[in-house]
Structure 1
Amino acid sequence: MGAIQGSTFLQTYDLGSNGPGLQEVRRAFEFLDESQWWRQEQMREWQLTKLAPLVAHAARRVPFYRALYGDRASVETWDDFRSLPIVTRAQFADTEPREREASFALPEHKVLHTTYTSGTSGRRLQISITQRLQLWRYACILREWDWLALDPRGDCAILRAPIAPGSDSWNESLGAEVYPTWQGPALGALVRFGKGFNFDIGRPIERIAEALDEIKPAFLHGTPTYLQVLADHLRHCRPLALLTLSEQLFPQVRQELEQRYGARVFDTYAAVEVNRAAADCPSGQGYHLHEENVFVELLDESDREAPPGVPARVVVTSLHNYATPVIRYELGDLAEYAEGACPCGRGLRRISTFHGRQISRFLLENGRVCIATPIVIALQDTPDVRAAQIRQKSYDDFEILVMGRTDFTAEETGDLQRRFDTLLQRPARLTYQFVERIPPLPNGKTPRVVIDFTP
């Protein structure tokens, strides 16, 4: 029961700064520290007070929702909310960004910047990030660090793609961007986070491993698949924790990573459309939803709430984004509710498994995988290519679907051939199809790499 009495995280690591918005972040974190222990009845009551004005605002100020809801915009009960139609990625993508944006911004919902989804649904979606949304994101990150219970002042290597060299923060000898605080200047002004090293995973993994062996960061932040492959190349880097994201973390992969690195794995689930959605329970009993930031529904094919242990569609509502409202939006992922109350005592609902997307990778004959990101980036950077998908037909055969072009030059195909041969360390057989449309998978996503054979 000691944790219920209040976290000591900010007492330990707060820098005491009174910069713009920091007091609001502190108050939001203190609220999360208390609300995580609420009973579900209390949480649902609070969520409904957020959903009612959000839906009313969207129906009045956002053309997409005004056309979708008509006169069904009043939400006074949960039945009212569940009667609202579910929005698919395709519906969102088929409308112009201005149709999904509010006609004016309320002062507390000032737009800070816009961001974009990855495009695995076939088209990238523009989402406005507001001051209020950012505040809750920061508060959720602080709660995750409180759950992780490790000193945040350690340096962190962030393994991502792509990065363009040449910025003021670029360190040529390391092949990385270097920042004074890895959580960014705003949150770094509040809490003592260590330095950040942003590595481009499109670069040779051997070079990245050499740099990591040199700087020895306390934390590695990347996808499970990339961290699996990276472990084969590291010699001296021994992080305290692996911070994983962006793809499904299978139990056997979690176990392998913890054994190979001798470090704890802390996994999070997020989406550009709603930001922080869930994170590992401190007691290791699945994922707790950030229910104060996003309302999550797991629905069966009849749009009814699924029982625990049954894979169901992830439908989300961002509780704080009034600029680009995201209401009953189907992400395209599947997840399963966990059984029963959590032993840790928190009242936040739990997810046992997220069936999310995987990082782009190819299968090798020895049972291992190799990261396909360098080739994916090369295809994306080819002039006039709108979208591309690589279908691995066997260990050596690859079919490449391309939108936006009718053919490639000999120089372009030669460059891709060299990239494949170098990555696989053997000759690859490549065929090309230039198409008007790349068909999505049943979940609505269009992955950049598809494994189209049984090993």
Structure 2
Amino acid sequence: MHPLIVRHVVLPLHERLKRTPTFAWLARLERTQWMEPEKLGELQFAELRRHLEFAYRHTRYYRRLLNEHELPPHRIQSLADFRKVPVLTRKLLRENFTDLAATGVRLGRVQRVATGGSTGEPVTLLVDMSAGFNIALRHRAHRWFGLEPGAREIVLWGSPIEATRQDRLRDLRDWLINSRLISAFDLGESALAAYARIITKHRPLRLYGYASAIYLLAQFLEREGWRPTWRMHAVFTTAETLFDFQRKTIEAVFGCPVAIEYGARDGGNMANECPHGGLHIPAEGVVLETDAITSDGLGEIVVTNCHRPAMPLIRYRTGDIGELADERCPCGRSLPLLKRVEGRRTDFLVAPNGRILHALALIYALREMERVREFQIVQDELDSVVVFVVAMPAWSRDDDEHVRRAVQARLGTEVRVKVETVETIPRTTSGKFRYVVSRVADGFIHDVLGSRRPAMAGARS
């Protein structure tokens, strides 16, 4: 569909039907990014105070917490005062779920969503999907690269391989907004060749998805000598750390800049990279801090997103490691900068039939199991997987079987799956948690990409 029709007719109608003020937010964000730093800081603190007052009035948890620490919102007059508010951890979120949910206020489309990726410790939270702030931030960041809402795009994301009626409805919606979804849950050679044909036919101006999955796709395309014959504007990676070697390959293959979107289900959109390389924090509604800073400047990222009313998470520990920057970006925007983010790397798994799966194919399944506190998936051989589970009370053999079936549904029934419940799951020597450890994937992917078989018929334009 013509991008102008999508931008000026389809998307506004889509947002109106969802009752989401995305474009009103976008117009506001286009102005505020150029405010003087002092004025932007005042706006940020005003939003923070508003959010604190909302949480104090409408959640039992924050009313109790702030009263216990003698920090009612009217006493918080500065960011220094704000930092006296105790941090919120995943453990506290799980233990206080009901008390953290907002009550006595009319909200929009509230959904119960589960996190589960990089920390290996899934949590569930409530999100008001009608807020519009996060989508508007993405639109703004894409505009930095000359991309308007409605531009043709390919999204490489977690998507079930088997289509359901809901998937078909989503496909229709995506067609109407010039978007095409390809699955990160199937990254085998035949799937990658099919994706190349889809990209060639769709001629997207942007590509958006998991960093590791886009990198794997780029490696495959590079091996086959594929290049776009049209101008792509940008590739946006998210959900994982993007390494320099990955960026270099992706940029070379697609012939355009690569930009990071740093976000999470529990924290929302926390930073976006501009064409000058600055990772900008959306200060209009997000406060980022780093806690327990080490000698090299790194600390745990703590977030407060002021536009998550269904379940306010104030000073929430993300589990990610990063560093804030003091300087201003050469692009001229006054939005503060995140200097770097480390951690959150997703691995791959390999099925006996040669299909390469993004690890989230299994993570999504395990994180929905309510009695799973932590988990780690270890693949020692193509047909052998061990799932370590730190279980909640009442774990049973039925839960073992549920895990076993979930793994075999994705990797194949011939895969031997052993489920072990453990007290703790050890971290790496650097203190990071690996939720997937595959001792098969690296060598297998190297073999796939190192060969040159005619898998790309019809993919070139």
* TM-score, normalization by structure 1: 0.75
1:73 corresponding residue in structure 2: 72
Using the alignment, how far apart are the partners of 2:158 and 2:84 within structure 1?
A: 40
148, 164, 167: which one aligns with 1:167: 164
Contact 1:389 1:448 in 2 (8 A): yes
Question: C-alpha separation between the residues in 1 aligned to 2:91 and 2:299?
Answer: 19
CA–CA distance in 2 between the matches of 1:24 and 1:379? 32
The counterpart of 2:145, out of the listed 119, 141, 148, is 148
Aligned CA distance change for structure 1 residues 340 and 394 (closer, same or farther; 3 Å): farther
**For 2:364 and 2:335, how far apart are their aligned partners in 1?**
42
- Cα distance in 1 for partners of 2:114, 2:409 equals 30
Q: Find the residue that maps to 1:92 and give its secondary structure.
A: helix
Partner of 2:459: none
Contact 1:405 1:434 in 2 (8 A): no
Cα distance in 1, alignment partners of residues 209 and 50 from structure 2: 37
- Rate the CA distance shift 1:228–1:328 in 2: closer, same or farther, 3 A: same
Deviations 1:152-204 (A, max 9, x none): 54432322224263434657xxxx9623437xxxxx7xxxx41x222332235
Does residue 298 of the first structure (1) align with residue 287 of the second (2)?
no
Q: Which residue of 1 aligns with 2:245?
A: 252
Q: Alpha-carbon deviation of 1:435?
A: 1.0
State the SS of the aligned residue for 2:213: helix
Letter aligned with residue 193 of structure 2:
E
Give the C-alpha shift of residue 298 in structure 1. 2.0
Whether the aligned pair in 2 keeps the contact of 1:294 and 1:316 (CA below 8 Å) is: yes
Over 3 Å counting, the alpha-carbon distance change for 1:378 and 1:269 in structure 2 is: closer
1:312 aligns with 2:309: no
Segment of structure 1 superposing worse, 235-244 or 50-59: 235-244
More helix by share: 2
What are the residue-to-residue correspondences of 1:26-65 with 2, within 5 Å? 26-65=23-62
- Provide the residue aligned with 1:335 in structure 2: 322
Aligned pairs (5 A) from 1:150-229: 150=147, 152-163=149-160, 165-168=162-165, 170=167, 178-181=171-174, 193-194=177-178, 196-216=179-199, 217=202, 218=204, 219-229=206-216
Write the deviation string for residues 295-347 of structure 1: whole angstroms up to 9, x where unpaired.
1112335xxxx89x721211111112222111111111011223522111111
Q: Structure 2 unaligned segments of length 5 or more: list them.
A: 444-461
User: Structure 2 matches for 1:326-365, cutoff 5 A?
Assistant: 326-338=313-325, 340-361=327-348
Matched, 1:116 2:114: yes
User: Cα distance 1:293–1:374, how it changes in 2: closer, same or farther (>3 A)?
Assistant: closer
Question: In structure 2, the residue corresponding to 1:140 is in which secondary structure?
Answer: helix
1:177–1:197 CA contact under 8 A, matched in 2: no
Q: Secondary structure at the match of 1:179?
A: helix
Partner of 1:99: 99
Structure 1, unpaired ranges of 5+: 1-8, 183-187, 364-368, 423-427
SS of aligned partner of 2:314: coil
Structure 1 residue 12: Cα displacement: 11
Matching residue of 1:439:
425
Report the alpha carbon displacement of residue 269 of structure 1 after superposing the two structures with TM.
Answer: 0.8
1:362–1:202 CA distance, 2 compared to 1 (3 A): closer
Measure, in 1, the Cα distance between the counterparts of 2:333 and 2:368: 49
Structure 1 match to 2:454: none
Query: Quick one: distance in 2 between partners of 1:12 and 1:93?
Result: 40
| 1:296 and 1:315 in contact (8 A); partners too | yes
Change (3 A) 1:384 1:93: closer
Give the number of aligned pairs: 411
Aligned residue for 2:144, secondary structure, equals: helix
CA RMSD of aligned residues (A): 4.4
What's the offset of the Cα at 1:421?
A: 12
| 1:181-231 Cα deviation digits (max 9, x unpaired) | 37xxxxx7xxxx41x222332235334323323322413322221122223
Q: Is the 8 A contact 1:295 1:318 kept in 2?
A: yes
Whether contact under 8 Å (2:186, 2:357) holds in the other structure is no
Amino acid at match of 1:114: R
- How big is the shift at 1:247? 0.4
Question: Does the C-alpha gap of structure 1 residues 399 and 21 become closer, same or farther in structure 2, counting only changes over 3 Å?
Answer: closer
C-alpha change, 1:10 and 1:144, in structure 2 (3 Å) is: farther
SS at match of 2:362: helix
CA distance in 2 between counterparts of 1:346 and 1:378 reads: 37
Opposite residue 108 of structure 2, the aligned amino acid is K
Q: Deviation digits for residues 208-266 of structure 1, max 9, x if unmatched?
A: 32332332241332222112222344455738232210001112221121113333212
Q: Please state whether the residue corresponding to 2:320 is helix, strand or coil.
A: strand
Over 3 Å counting, the alpha-carbon distance change for 1:215 and 1:62 in structure 2 is: same
Could you tell me whether the CA contact under 8 Å between 2:34 and 2:333 is conserved in 1? yes
Q: Which amino acid aligns with 2:115?
A: T
SS in 1 for 2:99: helix
User: Given that residues 120 and 433 in structure 2 are in contact (C-alpha distance below 8 angstroms), is that contact kept between their aligned partners in structure 1?
Assistant: yes
- 1:127 is the counterpart of 2:110: no
Output aligned runs, 1:407-422, within 5 Å: 419=411
2:267 is aligned with 1:274? yes
Whether contact under 8 Å (1:140, 1:290) holds in the other structure is yes
CA distance in 1, matches of 2:368, 2:42: 51
